[in-house]
Amino acid sequence: MPNVKELKNKYDAIIIGSGGTGLTAALQAHELGLNVVVLEKNEKTGGNTSRASSGMNASESLVQLDEGIIDNNQDFYNETLKGGGLLNDRAMLKYFVDHSAIAISWLMKYGVRLTDLTITGGMSKKRAHRPGSMEPVGFYLTSRLTNQVKKSGVDIFTGAKVTKLLQDKSNKVNGVEVTTEDGVKTIKAKAVLLATGGFGASKDIIKKYRPDLVDYKTTNQPGATGDGMKLAKEIGAQLMQMNFIQVHPTADTDNPHVYLIGEGLRGEGAILVNKNGDRFVNELSTRKIVSDAITNLHEDGAYLIFDSGVRAHFGAVEFYDQIGLVQHGDTLEELAKKIGVDGYNLNETVERWDKAVENHKDKEFGRTTGMDRQLDRGPYFAIHIHPAIHYTMGGIHINTDTEVLDTNGNVIKGLYAAGEVSGGLHGNNRIGGNSIAETVIFGRQAGIQMAKYAREHGKK
């Protein structure tokens, strides 16, 4: 990374944050001729995006057609709307769905090849695109995009925390104040993008909007403290739906570092069982429903159960195993003994599940997806999981052009926001695979709109 001493006084666009949104916006804006800089407060790039592990949702993609999957945007729209409790911003959702397939193709151009498909909760088709190597999508995406941004000549400065948005006399945003190890510096720009992520690691903000969740652990990286929302609010931006905080049903919270166990594991066929060895929910209902079902057991979480066949289709398990999160058993009885679950019942549960897969009918809980393979290939595996704070659906109010709106609904000129820092797209519950999609789709849109704005104001 370049030394902060090399920070210039002026750029066409300043991008705050280097997760999926910031990196995508930087590449797209650079493609369109802007002189861009990325400012990241953490010591490394990637943000929360680098922790994502399921996939990137898109409909009507070339990858789907290559696999013989005939999908349509309207279904993706309807299922996301239903999953969000009909509280999604309709215009944003339509833009999102309609630009999802092209985002997959655009990434290919930069060597980010999401050529494998899986399914996530609330979806009827395989829409979650992920790397063919099965490595977790988030790190794959951010590491490659970081390299592409550097290769394009765009500077990323880490350890650079933006503390203030600057405005001219007409209230247009025209720069930032940034604090680095060399002190505070003022940088001017035609446009500024907030790509700072959510507030899942901010106890203060969670306490303000959702005191009931203040004791939950979080899957977020420690830097997800709502900085962008605070910066925007200081200059009159509107925050919306801040009480909509998503709890992810499956996280390993037994260690000081909380690990998200990706939804794709259930998408490939894993089931959830309680202490009695019984299933208790459709594992691929929306995250809200599954999380509530686990919490209502009052049994110190639950267990994900899967076999070698499922493991072979979800590469992130290798990582989970390496760090000690996975219990092994040559038989289900042996596994049950290790995790303190009723072995007889677990055997019966898996037998019933295998029959449901064979008949394509889950009589017990009505699960219709993630039923491609039976759990019949030893050895068997279990991961102990609890729900954890995962995603903040609310945030800065933006329009489909990623322009930030003030409390009167007027555009704050020169200021853009995209990704988890913004609110509205997901309603009251985000569908798995939609956050990575949001970072790329609206990251591109922010890059495009900043370029358009800079061109229009270039002569002024």
Question: What domains appear along the chain, each with residue ranges and CATH number?
Answer: 2-198+392-455 (3.50.50.60), 246-387 (3.90.700.10)
| pLDDT of res. 262 | 86
Least confident range of 120-134, 408-422, 441-455: 120-134
C-alpha to C-alpha distance for 177 and 334, rounded to whole angstroms: 59
C-alpha to C-alpha distance for 437 and 71, rounded to whole angstroms: 16
SS3 283: coil
**Each residue's pLDDT tens digit, 420-437:** 999 999 999 999 899 999
Q: How confident is the model at residue 1 (pLDDT cuts 50, 70, 90)?
A: low
The answer to whether 334 and 305 have CB atoms below 8 angstroms apart is: no
The pLDDT of residue 385 is above 70: yes
The pLDDT of residue 365 is above 90: yes
Catalytic residue numbers read: 287
Helix then strand then coil, in percent of the chain rounded to 5, is 35, 25, 40
Tell me how long the chain is.
Answer: 460
The pLDDT of residue 311 is above 70: yes
The two structure tokens encoding residue 300: 């110190």
The answer to whether 429 and 288 have CB atoms below 8 angstroms apart is: yes
Q: What pTM was computed for the model?
A: 0.88
Q: Residues 374-402: what's their mean pLDDT?
A: 96
User: Which one-letter amino acid corresponds to residue 75?
Assistant: D
The answer to whether 370 and 284 have CB atoms below 8 angstroms apart is: yes
Helix H or strand E segment including 399: none
The answer to whether 234 and 164 have CB atoms below 8 angstroms apart is: yes
| pLDDT of res. 286 | 87
Strands 10-16 and 36-40: parallel
The two structure tokens encoding residue 89: 């911003």
The answer to whether 197 and 228 have CB atoms below 8 angstroms apart is: yes
**Each residue's pLDDT tens digit, 139-155:** 999 999 999 999 999 99
Non-local CB neighbours of 25 within 8 Å, separated by 6+ positions: 15, 193, 195, 418, 443, 444, 446, 447, 450
C-alpha to C-alpha distance for 398 and 42, rounded to whole angstroms: 25
| Nearest alpha carbon to residue 61 among 110, 113, 136, 7 | 113
CA distances (Å), 134 to each of 24, 291, 328, in order? 22, 25, 21
Helix axes 20-31, 137-151, angle to 10 degrees: 30
Q: How confident is the model at residue 263 (pLDDT cuts 50, 70, 90)?
A: confident
**Each residue's pLDDT tens digit, 76-134:** 999 999 999 999 999 999 999 999 999 999 999 999 999 999 988 889 999 999 999 87
Does residue 4 or residue 321 have the better pLDDT? 321
Non-local CB neighbours of 386 within 8 Å, separated by 6+ positions: 217, 251, 252, 253, 294, 300, 301
Q: State the Rg of the chain over Cα.
A: 22
The pLDDT of residue 180 is above 50: yes
Mean pLDDT computed over every residue of the chain: 94
Burial of 215 (0-12, 13-18, 19+ CB in 10 A): exposed
| pLDDT of res. 460 | 46
Helix H or strand E segment including 426: none
The pLDDT of residue 4 is above 80: no
| pLDDT of res. 122 | 87
SS3 269: coil
| Nearest alpha carbon to residue 126 among 248, 286, 267, 263 | 267
Angle subtended at Cα 135 by Cα 288 and Cα 110, rounded to the nearest 5 degrees? 105
383-418 in b/e form (b: 16+ CB < 10 A) is bbbbbbbbbbbbbbbbbbbbbbbbeeeeebbbbbbb
